Structure 1
């Protein structure tokens, strides 16, 4: 799994997150989940909370193949008052 690449949207409580997945194993990955840890950052840079969300892995991923997918990751709008923003800093994957 590569590092997440983030891009802003027109809503401060959402961002686009792109992640590349590479299957280095000898068999296809048939399913799995991706977990996003989205941090809510205050105007002074204080990390107020981390909200997790999950999505399905872009499967199947053939042995030796690479796939990239972009998700729009959002938290509840009330969690991000004016002057605050989100950053999806951590992404983990569970392969099946």
Structure 2
């Protein structure tokens, strides 16, 4: 999995997160989940909270294949007061 590429949206409580998955194994990946850790950050860079969310892995990913996907990751708007924003910093994959 690549490092996440984050792109802002017109809402401070959402951002687009793009990931590239590469299957270096000998068989196709048929299921799994992607977990996002999205941090609520103030203007000084202080991390106030982390919200977790999960999505389904874009499968199948063929043996030796590559898959790129972008998700819009959001937290509840009330959790991101004016002057704050989000950063999806933590991403993990559970390959099944």
Shorter-chain TM band: over 0.9
Residue in structure 2 matched with residue 56 of structure 1 by the alignment: 56
Residue in structure 2 matched with residue 70 of structure 1 by the alignment: 70
Unmatched 5+ stretches in structure 1: none
Residue 44 of structure 1: how far off its partner (Å): 1.5
Residue 63 of structure 1: how far off its partner (Å): 0.4
Q: How does 1:12-91 map to 2 (within 5 A)?
A: 12-91=12-91
Distance in 2, Cα, partners of 1:29 & 1:57: 9
TM-score normalised over the length of structure 2: 0.98
TM-score normalised over the length of structure 1: 0.98
Distance in 1, Cα, partners of 2:44 & 2:28: 45
Q: Deviations over 1:54-82 (max 9, x none)?
A: 00000000000010000000000000000
CA RMSD of aligned residues (A): 0.5
